[in-house]
Structure 1
Amino acid sequence: MRSSRIDTARLTLQVHESGPEDGTPVVLIHGNLSTGRFYEHLFEDAPERYRLIAPDMRGFGDSDRAPIDATRGLRDWADDVHALLQALGTTAPPHLAGWSTGGAAIAHYAMEHPVASLTFIDPVSPYGYGGVALDGTPHFDDFAGSGGGTGNPEFAARVAAGDRSEEGDTAPRNVMNTSYWRVGHREPPKREELLLGEILKSLTGDDGYPGDTATSEHWPGVAPGTRGILNALSPKYCNWADIVDVDPKPPILWTHGAQDIVVADGSPWEMGTLGSLGVVPGWPGADTFPPQPMVQQIRAVLSEYEARGGRVEMTIYEESGHFPPLDARERWAAQFWSFLG
């Protein structure tokens, strides 16, 4: 693996790579509160014909701590990827893999530029995160119940403080080990420390995690702001359901961990579920604000993509959490390289 800072027309990115510089580009986009190094365990056994490119996206890792314009959804990330590939001098359409937040970024990239394939790894719903019905209709016109105001302020403060402890549910280490992969999975100590350190590099506050917020007359009293990552994931700005209209249609691989609690039907991180459990008081009920059926939404959009002539491979990893490339690494890598081939 080699790692370097690459100047692009938009910002300077820290980029982790392996494989020949003239190889087929495979770009691996991480999720929220992570970096490109979450993919590095895949590099050693990758087929030699691929050039693996795993950037730290804006606001994360060692890349520029540039703000995220939430009103563009994840298009900032998509444009950053395009600028990176131009800076690297790649000309072939890339294979793109996007984990969680990165899933929306690669979808937006594919709506603007040719790609060889798309791999969605437990992606954010095509209708964003929080406050929408099955068909993507918001529960309230101002998209209340999504965006920066739904983030946990104690967790954000502990990330900002560089907290490496194991004290309490909001300790970044504990969030990583209970939410990023299946419960019970632990990386070797050295690797765990490295990945925790990558999380702690995240830009926090209004321009990063969780982002700014707005008040709402609707439950739970907060609506999306215009800055930061959680607002970029709000259904007000994040919507990649139009992927079904892409022509020509690149082949798609969707892998999902059945034990994922971040992207799930009834995720305990989403306001509809938190309200139904009594964690957030005043919930107006399932008729007004039901939990978001995220996996059903992903399946419906990708099924429509398939019905319109696209090739889609869907696999549920029963023993995995939010990131099967790590907690089911051998099986996932075999499927991924086979799919690219």
Structure 2
Amino acid sequence: MTLFDGITARLVETPRLAVNVLERTGDSAATPPERTVVFIHGNVSSSLFWQETMLDLPSDLRVLAIDLRGFGGSEHLPIDATRGVRDFSDDVHATLEALGIATAHLVGWSMGAGVIMQYALDHPVLSLTLQAPVSPYGFGGTRRDGSRLTDDDAGCGGGGANPDFVQRLTDRDTSDEAPTSPRSVFRAGYVAAGYETEHEDVWVESMLTTSTATGNYPGDSVTSESWPGFGAGTVGVLNTMTPGHFDVSGIAELADKPPILWIHGTVDAIVSDSSFYDLNNLGKLGVIPGWPGDEVAPAQEMVSQTRDVLGRYAEAGGEVRELALEGTGHSPHLERPVEFRHALLEVIGYVGHPQNPSPPTEAIILRSSD
């Protein structure tokens, strides 16, 4: 793995699997929970994506980034998708237990945000930062209220992955010769047009750590009588987020509500109300033939669903800050690092600290009185 100066990696043995963890050189294991921040990456990525952010945070914090199973340097064990993302969240809990961390501030990106929402349903946390989060109702196949379009989640899960993209992951293709190469997908899907970085090779390397072995990415599928002809399977990454397996909307009813930061870009190609990764939206756009129409297969209103659920969280007494970054794609921590850093430090209680001198971020604060 390509590690930046100041970042170290180690394998943490847990009763569930061996987990790769990135840490900052010099961080103390004696740091209290209220100054401990744990980063969880998204789909087709790894903890390598968090290195810039980790190094940019104040030195008196303890910051860690965990590789989920099947990604980065963690073991590539099969994923039981019928448990939603619980294999992932249970792995995170086992890792934190092994490290002696009883609770912490959790930061999750995309699928990783779903993982930390599930974690918060099962274990106490100090705060949640949801970056470009998967909808609380999963990815694809639901109406605005979260109700499923079909009983077999047609058009969702492992069958929706592009086979050429999967093969290029397997082949560790670093080129940009095709739209389905990981590098091209990063440029088109992970960030907005105009993003520039000297670290693109590292981000592509991170994507290429994705295991495509049976039970990992993308997962299996079943035939369906509904358009587009397949439904969700029971193993693998993409099936963990199908609506029949995944629903963390119950977070709104948590008795103890940690503060939540929801940060997302307004031109996110992956998580939006008109996602280019939602097969129903692609059908509506004419990319996939035979689309049966809005009554049968509407595009999933992902951002609106998140706003609805977090609105209920706020109405029930929780504190939610929504920060929508104009012109930003799926990776605010890469594209708008100053705003991301400041918003994160605010939600973990670092407001006014000498190492957080940035001006206040402009955000929508959702409260019970809104």
TM-score grouping bracket, smaller chain normalisation? over 0.9
For 2:46, the aligned partner's letter is T
- Offset at 1:45? 2.6
**Contact 1:213 1:222 survives alignment (8 Å):** yes
For 1:242, the aligned partner's letter is G
**Contact 1:119 1:253 survives alignment (8 Å):** yes
Residue aligning to 1:165? 175
Deviates more, 1:202-211 or 1:216-225: 202-211
* Counterpart Cα distance in 2 of 1:151 and 1:45: 34
Residue aligning to 1:267? 275
**Contact 2:39 2:108 survives alignment (8 Å):** yes
**Contact 2:47 2:206 survives alignment (8 Å):** no
**Is 1:17 the counterpart of 2:23 in the alignment?**
yes
* Counterpart Cα distance in 1 of 2:208 and 2:172: 6
- Offset at 1:212? 0.6
* 1:112-127 pair list within 5 angstroms: 112-127=122-137
Residue aligning to 1:27? 38
Query: Using a 3 Å threshold, how does the CA distance of structure 1 residues 205 and 221 change in structure 2: closer, same or farther?
Result: farther
Q: What SS is found at the alignment partner of 1:314?
A: strand
Residue aligning to 2:78? 67
Residue aligning to 1:37? 48
Q: What SS is found at the alignment partner of 1:295?
A: helix
Deviates more, 1:201-210 or 1:30-39: 201-210
* 1:218-233 pair list within 5 angstroms: 218-233=226-241
**Is 1:300 the counterpart of 2:300 in the alignment?**
no
**Contact 1:20 1:48 survives alignment (8 Å):** no
**Is 1:200 the counterpart of 2:200 in the alignment?**
no
Matching residue within 119, 130, 138 for 1:128: 138
**Contact 1:205 1:212 survives alignment (8 Å):** no
Matching residue within 326, 330, 348 for 1:340: 348
- Offset at 1:319? 2.2
- Offset at 1:42? 1.3
For 1:125, the aligned partner's letter is S
Q: What SS is found at the alignment partner of 1:335?
A: helix
**Is 1:183 the counterpart of 2:183 in the alignment?**
no
* Counterpart Cα distance in 2 of 1:11 and 1:247: 31
* Counterpart Cα distance in 2 of 1:43 and 1:184: 24
Residue aligning to 1:156? 166
**Is 1:241 the counterpart of 2:240 in the alignment?**
no
**Contact 1:15 1:54 survives alignment (8 Å):** yes
**Contact 1:177 1:186 survives alignment (8 Å):** no
- Offset at 1:205? 4.3
* Counterpart Cα distance in 1 of 2:288 and 2:148: 19
Q: Deviations over 1:299-332 (max 9, x none)?
A: 0000000000000011101121001001001121
* Counterpart Cα distance in 2 of 1:29 and 1:169: 27
* Counterpart Cα distance in 2 of 1:51 and 1:133: 40
**Is 1:7 the counterpart of 2:18 in the alignment?**
no
* Counterpart Cα distance in 2 of 1:200 and 1:334: 30
For 2:242, the aligned partner's letter is S
- Offset at 1:167? 0.8
Structure 1, gaps ≥5 residues long: none
- Offset at 1:228? 0.5
Identity rate of aligned residues, in percent? 43
Residue aligning to 2:368? none
- Offset at 1:207? 1.2
Q: Deviations over 1:23-61 (max 9, x none)?
A: 232110000000011011012231223211101110001
For 2:126, the aligned partner's letter is A
- Offset at 1:254? 0.3
Q: Deviations over 1:147-195 (max 9, x none)?
A: 100111111111111111111210110101111111221321xx11111
For 2:181, the aligned partner's letter is A
Residue aligning to 1:283? 291
**Contact 2:267 2:329 survives alignment (8 Å):** yes
- Offset at 1:251? 0.5
Q: What SS is found at the alignment partner of 2:159?
A: helix
* Counterpart Cα distance in 2 of 1:260 and 1:113: 30
* Counterpart Cα distance in 2 of 1:322 and 1:45: 20
Dislocated runs of 4+, deviation >6 Å: none
Q: What SS is found at the alignment partner of 2:29?
A: coil
Residue aligning to 1:58? 69
Q: What SS is found at the alignment partner of 1:135?
A: coil
Normalising by structure 2, report the TM-score: 0.90
Deviates more, 1:227-236 or 1:198-207: 198-207
